[in-house]
Chains A and B, each alone.
Chain A
Amino acid sequence: MNLDEEIKQLVNRFNTGILRPDEVETLEKYIEEGRVDLSEFAELQAFYNRLILDNSSEPSAKLNTRFYSMLAEQKTNASKSWFNTFNELWYSKPVVRWAYGFILVGFGLTVGLILKTNDSSNTEINKLSAEVKEMKEMMMLSLLEEESINDRLKAVSLSRELPEASERIISALLETLNNDENVNVRLSALEALVPYADDSKVRVGLVASIAKQESPLVQMGLAEMMLVLQEKRSVDALKNLLENQETPAEVKEKITETLEILI
């Protein structure tokens, strides 16, 4: 017996009222799978078809009134801005006012704390920087007093690490350039003064130093620097050096070149 025949027999047995409970389950399975249509149960379908739902009652006008009142209320609520809501809460709930007060105070404290922290940390940093600079200056000045050439060279190098040179440092470097017994230290001091050449005091100091130098290397270094700086105030000092019989020929040559450009 194929499936279609089995289903047909099950439907017939159901319609004649002789279907066993286990067969009902099978029939329901076929209904669920769509193999059996409910219209095949003629008598059952007839009952079902004769049933007409009770439509004698209709909703009253009261339902309309209630619905449209509810809708109007919802529309009013929806159109209320957040400000109105906040306003209502402000006047009806003291806790909102307190919360607002707390938030404002909290905000103020936080901002204050941040500003204070920034201020104090900046002050701390500036203070520390000043202290470090002071320490380096002190170290440099004390190293320049040392007998060791290396220490004095270190002192000059230290001046290059300073963000800006104080008058004290510039004076110390000019002093070293003019008076240190070691040529290398003097040359190093000359190089250390280059970054501050815009300072007129440095320029005057450098020009004045020309007459004080005996080392050819330092003399040539100074002549070179005057050329770079286009310092016309050095012409007289350079001419004096050129006229000096003790000035080596290489230095005179350099000075001549420099003077040709400067004049």
Chain B
Amino acid sequence: MLKVKQGQLDALGLLFERYKKILFGFFYNMNLDQNLSEDLVQTVFERVLKYRTGFNGDGEFKVWMFHIARNVNIDNYRKSSRFKNEDIENHRDISDGVGSIEEAIGKGEELDILNAALNRLDHEKKEIITLSKIEGLKYKEIGKVLNCSEGAVKVKVFRAMQSLKGEFLKIQKTV
């Protein structure tokens, strides 16, 4: 990344090849949308290029990249939430309180139910579980991404795990 910062833009290609899948996985699990996730990965690398001088080289590139990725995802989430709210205002009769994911599960397996449970969590809890499940991203690093302490991350994960279990059990009852 330091090479990119110094103007060797070709080096960004190496970073892209190394992290595109992991980033895509983060966005895909957060949004369940192939095209959107690719758009967001692209946006992350555009921002990496734009703000490359802001990378001070002290920390790991992955942490800095996920910091950007999280902001990109939040921007998208806020944008889509606004659209969703407008849709709800226009079509109040559509919402029945049960997500379409659960319907798709049918009589599926445990992992499907767990993923469905994950998708029913609020944004913050879903985000912390997703980040904690990304290979090689430790609680300490997640703390840097979220601007909080390692201990605070553990508490967030603990709460998210409880909610995950709660949602899992709820879905299991309906199946």
Q: Footprint of B on A, CB under 8 Å?
A: 28, 31-34, 38, 41, 43-45, 47-48, 50-55, 57-60, 62-64, 66-68, 70-71, 74-75, 78
* A60 surroundings in chain B (CB, below 8 A): 34, 38
B118 at the A/B interface (Cβ < 8 Å)? yes
B82 at the A/B interface (Cβ < 8 Å)? no
Question: With A53-B133, A71-B16 given, can you name 17 additional A-B contacts, CB distance below 8 Å?
Answer: A28-B155, A31-B158, A32-B155, A34-B151, A50-B110, A51-B115, A51-B164, A53-B25, A53-B130, A54-B29, A55-B25, A58-B21, A63-B41, A67-B16, A71-B13, A75-B9, A75-B10
- CB of A44 within 8 A of CB of B161, answer yes
Q: Footprint of A on B, CB under 8 Å?
A: 7, 9-10, 12-13, 16, 20-21, 24-25, 28-29, 32, 34, 37-38, 41-42, 45-46, 49, 110-111, 114-115, 118, 129-130, 133-134, 149-152, 154-155, 157-159, 161-162, 164-165, 168
State in angstroms the CA–CA spacing of A262 and B25 once bound together: 114
* A34 surroundings in chain B (CB, below 8 A): 150-151, 154
- CB of A51 within 8 A of CB of B129, answer yes
Known pairs A31-B151, A41-B161, A51-B129; A63 contacts B110 (CB<8 A) = no
B102 to chain A, nearest CB (A): 15
- The list of the 7 closest CB pairs from A to B, nearest first, reads A32-B151, A59-B24, A63-B38, A51-B114, A44-B161, A47-B165, A28-B155
Of chain A, the residue at the smallest CB distance from B169 is A47
State in angstroms the CA–CA spacing of A68 and B32 once bound together: 25
